[in-house]
Chain A
Amino acid sequence: MIVGSQKPIEEIWSMVKDFKKVLVFGCNTCVAICHAGGEKEAATIASLIRMRAGQEGKAMEVNHMGVMRHCEPEYFDPVIEEVKSYDLVLSTACGVGVNFLSDRTGTIPVYPGINTSFYGAVEAPGFFKELCAGCGDCIVHLTGGLCPIARCSKTLMNGPCGGTNHGKCEVSNEVDCVWYLIVERMKKLGTLEKLSEVLPPRNWSTSRDGGPRRVSVEHIREYEEQEAQKPETAGGKK
């Protein structure tokens, strides 16, 4: 899932301070699970903004709300008119949600309430770890199921580097050397000898380097397009 973390209140304040009516808009999926931007955190941030406004003696109406996801219109459509009645929407969704909503609120700005950090797992309650970089061309079947792109500080495809240090990365003692983990894992799987093959340079065009990416699931698109051509849909689509 997508992991995020709350922005410092001072940064938030600098974004919102000139608006009169602010909606802190929570997203109840990924960022809720990591306690950064669900409805609860939206309520908390709203409270902090109100207190900050109080400190400055500013008149400000700050409310909160939450929907299941900001990244699919069906979830926020039912409340979009209410959302648009504010001067500013501070979305506590991940960057995807902020972007997506920004296109759909007319003249109302949508600002980010959290920092979107990475794709990660819940290693322990309240502790999240980046494990995938979304490169668009997954190769972890070659590396014991562990991703060198996301988890090696240098994104080495044929590691480890000389900085590996008893299982830790030279960048920080708190970072595991993923190449050490890959070797250990592949030993266990009995596939260590595969590592003797040198992995060729990668084509990064499937990653960010190819520009913004899209995925289109053809059979679903086809159905949707047929639906759109019908003059009026019986079953009440839209």
Chain B
Amino acid sequence: MTPGQTKETGTYRPYGADIKETRPYSPCRAACPAHTDVQAYVGLIAQGRYTEAFEVITSVNPIASVCSMICHHPCEQSCRRCSVDEPLAVRHLKRFALEKSADYRRNKRRLVGKTKNKSIGIIGSGPSGLSAARDLSDLGYGVTIYERHPVLGGMLASAIPPYRLPREVLKEDIDDVISKGVEVRTNCEIGRDVKLEELTKKHDAVLIAIGLSQSRSLNIPGVEGPGVLLAIPFLEDVAFDRRPDLGNKVLVIGGGNVAMDVARSARRLGVRDVSMVCLESAEEMPAWKWEVDEAVEEGVRINHRWGPKEVRRQEGKVQGLEVVKVRSVFDANGRFNPSFDNDQTTLIEADTIIITIGQMSNLSFLKDSPVKIDVRGRLEWNPATQTSSSKNVFVAGEVVTGPGSAIAAVASGHRAALAIHLHLQGEAVEGALPLQEKEKISQMPPEVLEMISREPRLKIKHLAPEVRCDTMTHFEIGYDEEEALREAGRCRGCGGGAVVDTQKCMACLTCQRICPYGAPVVTSVSEIRPEYCQACGLCAPECPGQAISMVSYDVKEISETLPSVVGRVDPKRQEPVIVAFLCTHHVGVFGFDLPKNVRKVPVHCTSRIDILDLLKAFETGADGVAVVRCNDGTCKYRGIEKGVKARVKRGQEMLGMLGMEPGRLELLSAEAGRGGNPWAAVCDDFSGRVKQLGLRAVR
């Protein structure tokens, strides 16, 4: 070892062991059917670590880019920030992270070796089929996808209109999966082009993932004949750019999300007069509120609480729909069971009527096969094993779960893949598939809510209705970097906070005393209550037993990376080497440069900086160390200020003990939005002061 060089090893009990999976989930993560670790990736975005965020997202979601455009985001609905102001814009942040990682992901695509010598045939290339294909390829199986459409993607490719889901986005996700070496047979309908039997012979296992690709129709007079369309064929026409002739007036029957897509697509095909009719009131409608709002913005009119009675025709041509008033939609038990007031009817005029009242599977190819269909025409299956009634034939996605979301179909695909893998390896499947329900942390207690500043969600921009209705182009405008960082900073890091190693805690009460949020309760050992903890990180560096780890980050990371951040210190340097710890919460720390002699260490909050990190910066050769925070008013974690000040003061005292000038360590404050580059300015001033103190000798 050269003089002054030192080595540091760990402790008897490792500090900061990996604990995440043993902890309750954040509500956002628990709500996601695929359990995407929202808290983790939003936190990474907030630190400018976009490709790491990409890895977190795609580790469980093979159609992440698609979801970043169309997911109904149950994570947001359950976000704990709802009780402060508004939920995090999780979906938009996901989109940002994926767009930022575009090159990274393309460079990552690799063929996976087929190590298992077994193959699986997957029927259907929707989210469930694609997910299973990815998992099974990663496990080393040969995978072939059979898809009746000319393109892969299921409903994503053939039904969801391009103004919501641009096809180049879908292609990125599909390319990730296919590049693993998945064989693809498009334009191949099982039952028509290839028999199921051939598949079961050829492959060791078959997965039926055919979704719900047929629209249901209505049994009312006049429904047969031209001018009445079904939703899925209509949306397929839109998706494959076959522009159907709709006349001047379109009426959509239905009040769900698919009906919204139909109506809004009709607007984009040049029809000015688009209306909808549904049984439900505005409150009862199953469509998401934002879908309804956007449709209304685009001029779609909605007739609530009318039921279809008859398609009126004159000389075969559709005149309109006769409708009857709805008395109630649900019965006393809350079941769907509409009742009508037959005395009240009216005619809604239309040239074309599009029926959008639900979908079903086309199971005709299973006739005479060993895969059983029940009396109600549904595929028989066992949810505990993802199996059909036939050996080696598995099931996934909406064909068995019924209508839901793309991400729920992903989750189903993962389960099926795991089931197939276990089965082919001769292991028991029953009981081995993970539970969908996860333990999650509860809502924020009122005393914590009070301490969180209101920061409204950053609204995403849309193309103006008059512009967007003329085209099928995507209508949402994503966040730029500054916006994404600002929005990501709103996340409270739920469930990502402090955890005590009870074998090291000596119940000293320090954490309980220092925590601004009242999270730790010390009895015989400390217990940090996750619903209180905000993951500020103030307590971990303070614990005298090094007993506190953080779920969402490695408490040793800063000090471990400092040597490479500082690099070699030139003995003949003219300017002092400054290490600046910068609070990244208030944006912009990434987008600009600091003076060349300043080594930037972004931290999510200065509360996370350990006295050991400060010392380490000097150990690695810094002439001066600056801790640059925002100010007490804007700090994300109210109440941490005193703790940070005390830590810096202690560091100064230690420098004094070593015969160094305490002024080599300073706590500074800077904030965006005052023009210029405030960080560079404060760092530059500090650097000047350190230069006056002189450069440290390098030995």
Contact = CB atoms under 8 A, between A and B. Distances in A.
Interface centre among B544, B615, B699 (most CB of A within 10 A): B544
Contacts of B117: none
Contacts of B5: 59
Contacts of A40: 543-546
B20 interface: no
Interface stretch (A60-68, A145-153, A174-182, A219-227): A60-68
Interface string B505-543: 010111001000000000000000000000000000001
Contacts of B332: none
A162 interface: no
B426 interface: no
In this complex, the interface size class of chain B, counting residues with CB under 8 Å from chain A, is 35 or more
B382 to A, nearest CB: 46
Interface in A183-235: none
A55 B697 CA distance: 8
Given A51-B619, A55-B658, A61-B6, A44 B544 contact: no
A50 B562 CA distance: 15
Contacts of A51: 615, 618-619, 658
Interface string B481-524: 00000000000000000000001101011100100000000000
B432 interface: no
Interface in A17-69: 28-29, 32-33, 35, 38-41, 43-44, 46-48, 50-55, 57-68
B337 interface: no
B12 A67 contact: yes
A57 B697 CA distance: 10
A63 B8 CA distance: 5
B699 A54 contact: yes
A8 interface: yes
Contacts of A55: 658-659, 697, 699
Given A39-B11, A63-B9, A64-B11, A54 B545 contact: no
B7 A61 contact: yes
A123 to B, nearest CB: 13
A119 B698 CA distance: 44
Contacts of B616: 47
A78 interface: yes
B373 interface: no
Residue of A40, A44, A48 ringed by the most chain B CB atoms within 10 A = A40
Contacts of B510: 35, 125
Interface in B1-40: 1-9, 11-12, 15
A59 B543 contact: no
Contacts of A66: 11-12, 504, 545-546
A65 B6 contact: no
B329 interface: no
B504 A54 contact: no
Contacts of A78: 12
A59 B545 contact: no
B654 interface: yes
Contact of B504 (A28, A46, A60): A28
Contacts of B657: 8-10, 48
A23 B346 CA distance: 90
B3 A68 contact: no
Contact of B4 (A32, A41, A47, A57): A57
A79 interface: yes
B451 interface: no
Which of B1, B7, B546, B612 is packed against the most chain A CB atoms within 10 Å? B546
B188 interface: no
B611 interface: yes
Contacts of B3: 54, 57-59
Contacts of A67: 12
Given A8-B657, A59-B5, A79-B12, A28 B545 contact: yes
B12 A29 contact: no
Contacts of B11: 39, 64-66
B693 to A, nearest CB: 15
B508 to A, nearest CB: 4
Contacts of A48: 615, 654, 657-658
Contacts of A60: 6
A32 B9 contact: no
Contact of A38 (B503, B544, B658): B544
A90 to B, nearest CB: 14
Contacts of B619: 47, 50-51, 54
B508 A32 contact: yes
Contact of B7 (A44, A63, A68, A122): A63
Nearest to A32: B544
A222 to B, nearest CB: 29
Contacts of B699: 54-55, 57
Interface centre among A32, A54, A65, A67, by most chain B C-beta atoms within 10 angstroms, is A54
Contacts of B618: 51
B506 A68 contact: yes
Given A38-B544, A53-B4, A44 B9 contact: no
Nearest to A20: B1
Contacts of A47: 612, 615-616, 619
B651 to A, nearest CB: 10
Contacts of A58: 3-4
A38 B4 contact: no
Contacts of A41: 544
A44 B612 contact: yes
A9 B8 contact: no
Contacts of A63: 7-9
A189 B8 CA distance: 56
A9 B658 contact: yes
Nearest to A9: B657
Interface string B541-580: 0011110000000000000000000000000000000000
A137 B611 CA distance: 43
Contacts of A125: 509-510, 513
A43 B45 CA distance: 31
A5 B504 CA distance: 21
Most-contacted residue by chain A among B506, B543, B616 (CB, 10 A): B506
Contacts of A68: 503-504, 506
A48 B510 CA distance: 23
27 contacts: A10-B657, A32-B545, A33-B506, A33-B544, A38-B545, A39-B11, A39-B15, A39-B544, A39-B545, A47-B615, A47-B616, A47-B619, A51-B619, A51-B658, A53-B6, A54-B619, A57-B3, A59-B2, A59-B3, A60-B6, A61-B7, A63-B9, A64-B11, A66-B12, A66-B504, A66-B545, A66-B546
Given A8-B657, A32-B545, A59-B2, 5 more contacts: A38-B544, A40-B543, A44-B612, A47-B616, A65-B12
In order of increasing CB-CB distance, the 4 nearest A-B pairs are: A38-B544, A54-B4, A57-B699, A47-B615
